[in-house]
Chains A and B, each alone.
Chain A
C-alpha cells in the first residue's frame, strides 16, 4: 500500500529525482561548518513566529481598551495560550540573536563577496525588517513597557528638521501614542511586513540556491577562486553530499534553537517580560526606568551620547546604509579575513563597541 502511494506521488511529482539532485547529489564544500546553517535556523525561527502569531491572533484584540485584557486571557485562561505567547516572545528575541549571528558569520567568512553582493543586501534588508517586526510587535500587548518604549521610539524622528514632526504624527496617528498608533502598528506587524518579508525571503533563497554555497576561506580545501565574468553556479564535485552530511548539521542547529527556546520558557519565562511588561499601559504615569529591548540598547546608548540629536540620527542612518551596501565598499578580492588585519580590527572593534554600548545602555 505504502509502495503504491509512493509510486503514485513519484509519477506525478518526480520527487525521487528532486531528492537525488537537490539533497543526495547536491555537493557542499568539504570544509563547510556549522555557521553555514544559521540561515536555515533563522528561517525556522520566522516560521515559528508566524505560526505562534497566527494562534495569538485568534484571541488578541487590537484595541486600547481590550489589548492588555486579551493578553491576560491568553496567558491565564486560553488552553496553552501561555505556550504560544511565550514561544512568540522568547522566539522573537532568539530570532534577532540568530539573525545577528548569521550576519556576523557571513561577514567573518566574507561570504558577501562577488557574486553574492545582492544576497547580502537582501539579507541586510531582511534583518532590518526583523527589527521592525520586533518594534511593531512590542506595542501590541499595550503594557506600560510597550507604551513608553513606543513613545520613546516614535519621538526619535522629531530630531529631523522640517519633516520630523510630520513623520512622528504619521507613526502615532496623532500627537500621542494612542489607540490609533496601536491599530497602525498592528496592521504593520500582521499585514504589511509579512508579505514584504516573504518576497525578500524568496529572492534571498533564490539567490542562495542559484549561486550555490560559498566555501569557507579557511581549512584544508580552498578552491582556487576564478574571476567572475559571467554567471555560473558554484559547484563542489569533490565535496560532501548535502544529505546527510550538511543536513545533519542543520537539523542539529534547529533542535538546538528549540532547546534554547524551551530552556528559557521552562526556567526563565519572564526573562524578556519584566514587571512593566505585565502592567497595563498608563499614559499618565511614566515608569522610572524604560529602556528598549537588548538589541536596540547599543543604538539607543549611542543616540544618548551624541549631544546633537539630529546628527545622532543621521549617523545611525549612515551606519545602516553602510551596513546594507557593505559589499560595494569592500572590493578587495581577498576573502580570508585573517589575512586582512585592518578589516579584522574593524570587525572586532565594531563588535566590542556594540557590546560596550549594549552593556552601558542597560544601566
Chain B
C-alpha cells in the first residue's frame, strides 16, 4: 500500500522534473524557429492568395499614387483572375518582390498597353481566343484602322468576371453597330452554353459524391475553351457549322455522366440493402438477448 503511493509520488516527481528540464531548454533555445513559424503557422492556414503581398499592391494602395490608380487592387480582388491567383505581374510583367525593379523593362514590365496592342497583351495566356479574334471583323478593324473593340471593350480591364453569354447584349454591341448579327450568334450559342453549364454542374455533383471526373473535366474544359474561342470570330455561319461538332463532343460526356449517376444510384442501393440487413441483425440479436436474460 505504502509502496504503491511511493511509486506514484516518484512518477509524478519524475514528470515534473522533466517538464522543468525541457522548459529550461525551451527558454534557452527560444523554442521558436523561423522555418517552423513560417511553415506551420503561416502557410497552410494563410487565408487568401499569397500573391496579395507584393509591391504592386503596396504601391497602388498608398497615397504615393494618383487616386484613379488606387482603385485597381480592389477592382482586381473582385475579379475572376484574382480567384485563380493571376497577379499584376502575370499580365503587366515587372518584379513584384523588388520595389526598385518592379517597373523595370529589364524585368519585363509592360505597364498599360496601347489600345491596339491589348489583344496581344491578353493573348499571352488566351492564345486560342487571340487567333480567332484576329481573324474576326473586330480584330481586322483594330489592326487595319487602329479602331475597333479589343478585349477590354467587352470584358473590362481589372474587374474581369467569368465570361458568360450575357456579355453579348444589346447595350454593349449597339455602342458600335446594330445588334442583329450578335443576336443571331447568341441564339446559336445559347443551347450549347446551357448544356456546358449543366455538364459542369453534373461533374461537380459527381465529384462531391466521390466519382473522380478528372478526364471528363479536362475534355469539357477544352471543349468549352474552344467553343468560347470560336465565338470570337464573330462569324455566324462558322459558329453555326461548328456548333454541331461541339454538341457531339458534349453529348459523349453526357453519356458518361449519366452512367456515373446510374453507378452512384447502384452504390447507394447496394450499401442501403447491407445497412438494412444489419438493422435486422441488430433487432434480432437484441430480442434474442432479452429472451436469454
Interface 1/0 per residue, B151-186 and A, CB below 8 Å: 000000000000000000000000000000000000
A interface secondary structure, majority: helix
Residue-wise interface mask of A (97-120) relative to B, using a CB-CB cutoff of 8 A (1 in contact, 0 not): 000000000000000001000000
With A159-B33, A308-B32, A311-B26 known as contacts, the answer to whether A322 contacts B15 (CB < 8 A) is: yes
Binds A, one of B56-64, B93-101, B229-237, B273-281: B273-281
Contact at B8–A255, with CB atoms within 8 Å?
no
With A72-B214, A245-B293, A252-B289: A286-B46 Cβ-Cβ less than 8 Å: yes
Interface residue tally of chain B, by bracket? 35 or more
Q: Which of B34-42, B107-115, B142-150, B193-201 contacts A (4 or more CB under 8 A)?
A: B34-42
B31 contacts A256, CB within 8 Å? no
Contact A266 B292 (CB under 8 A): no
Q: Does A290 contact B (CB under 8 A)?
A: yes
The segment from B66-74, B129-137, B204-212, B242-250 that touches chain A is: B204-212
Question: In whole angstroms, how far apart are the Cα atoms of A267 and B88 in the complex?
Answer: 44
Closest to A325 in B: B11
Cβ < 8 Å to A, chain B residues 5-24: 5, 7-8, 11-12, 15, 18-19, 22-23
B285: CB under 8 A from chain A? yes
Residue A166 is within 8 A (CB to CB) of chain B in the complex: no
Name which residue of chain A comes closest to B269, CB basis. Answer: A266
- Which chain A residues lie closer than 8 Å to B31 at the CB level? 159, 161, 308-311
Point out the residue from A270, A280, A291, A321 that lies within 8 Å of B15, measured CB to CB.
A321
A273 to B272, CA, bound (A): 20
Could you say which interface size class chain A belongs to?
35 or more
CB-CB under 8 A from B268, the residues of chain A are: 266-267
Q: Which residues of chain A in 237-276 are interfacial with respect to chain B, using CB atoms and an 8 Å cutoff?
A: 244-245, 248-249, 251-252, 255-256, 258-259, 262-263, 265-267, 269-270, 273, 275
**Extra pairs beyond A252-B286, A309-B33 (5, CB < 8 Å):** A159-B36, A280-B214, A308-B32, A309-B31, A309-B32
By a beta-carbon cutoff of 8 Å, the part of chain A in contact with chain B is 71-72, 75-76, 82-83, 86, 114, 148, 151-152, 155-156, 158-159, 161-162, 164, 244-245, 248-249, 251-252, 255-256, 258-259, 262-263, 265-267, 269-270, 273, 275, 278, 280, 286-291, 304, 308-311, 314-315, 318, 321-322, 325, 328-331
